[in-house]
Amino acid sequence: MTTVDPGPARRSTETKACCATAYSSDAVAMLLGESYHPGGLRLTRRLTSRLALRKDGPVLDVACGRGASALAIAAEHGCPVSGVDLSQANIAAAAEAASAVEGEFDFRVGDAEALPFADGAFAAVVCECALCTFPDKATAAREFARVIAPGGRLGITDVTADRDRLPPELTGLGAWIACVADARPLSEYTRILRLAGFGILTTEHHDDAIRKMLSQIEARLQLVEMTAPDRAEVLGLDFGAAPGVLKAARRAIDDGILGYGLIVAERVDTGE
């Protein structure tokens, strides 16, 4: 009888579960702010301005978190927006936020590597600071391509990294959840997307966005430590480890090891 080693699959499932739990926590919301990604809604607007969005063109936000980007896209472009996230808590929060504003929304729990939507259902897909955390990036990219109609566009912003040069403080499961340990160079993201059926339209570097987010995290940690240190245990914050990790991240940015990038791609019409 032949047996299959379940190790990689189990590790992938555990990583996804850890990321979903972390990104639905109050600590992450407190540290990262409304948008959960470097550049905030300012960078989201820059990204979506390149997607040729229209009012009758549905948009999907993959790893939508609590829905900040989805709501902004609907408000500014008038299009129907769907969101998918592994966290039930995030989806519930996004749906609640959407119920208080005008727009057509559909938020669902789901995995980026097996999106719960029909082929060609969307005119555009956005994915912000999340592809770097997906264990199987090639499968996720193929799923993006599957649900985008031919000629539709994909917009990604994400952490970029030279994994072979990452310092020890930025590896391991905690760093994976923090969008660092399995991030790739911008060139590797574009290679993965091309293999999935996309033509690359635009790439940009926005390293300063991640610098600013690190400063925001540091300031908020200091505020909690000074004003409510008893909250640290409740929120699961490790004040002892944080300075070393933040310092290592800043040094990695300065050394060109860590950064943040933007990609706009178009779904190629293969005629199939």
Each residue's pLDDT expressed in tens, for the chain with a length of 272 residues: 333 444 455 445 555 555 555 445 555 555 555 556 788 999 999 999 999 999 999 999 999 999 999 999 999 999 999 999 999 999 999 999 999 999 999 999 999 999 999 999 999 999 999 999 898 999 999 999 999 999 999 999 999 999 889 888 777 545 544 567 688 999 999 999 999 999 999 999 999 998 988 887 777 666 555 665 555 554 454 555 667 778 888 999 999 999 999 999 999 976 55
Question: What is the pTM assigned to this prediction?
Answer: 0.82
Helix (H), strand (E) at residue 30: helix 26-32
Token code pair at residue 246: 């933040």
Q: Is 155 exposed, middle or buried (0-12, 13-18, 19+ CB in 10 A)?
A: buried
Structure token digits, residue 17: 């579960």
The dihedrals phi and psi of 241, each to the nearest 5 degrees, come to -85, -25
Instruction: Sketch the domain layout of the chain as residue ranges.
Output: 7-266
Strand partners, 266: 153, 199
- Helices 88-98 and 68-77 pack at an angle, to 10 degrees, of 30
The CA distance from 11 to 17, in Å, is: 10
**According to the model, what pLDDT value does residue 15 have?**
53
Helix (H) or strand (E) holding 20: helix 7-22
DSSP secondary structure, 119-172, as one string: TT-EEEEEEES-GGG-S-HHHHHHHHHHHEEEEEEEEEEEEEE-GGG--GGG-S
CB neighbour class for 116 (10 Å; exposed up to 12, middle 13-18, buried from 19): exposed
Q: Are 146 and 198 in contact (CB under 8 A)?
A: no
Report d(CA 242, CA 110) in Å as an integer.
31
Place of tokens 């999106």: 115
What is the CB neighbour count within 10 angstroms for residue 72? 19
The confidence score (pLDDT) of residue 126 equals 98
3-state class (DSSP) for residue 121: coil
Phi, psi of 142, rounded to the nearest 5 degrees: -65, -35
| Residue 172, pLDDT score | 58
What's the pLDDT at 4? 43
State how far the Cα of 234 lies from the Cα of 174, in Å rounded to an integer: 18
What is the model's pLDDT at position 225? 58
Q: Does the domain at residues 7-266 carry the CATH identifier 3.40.50.150?
A: yes
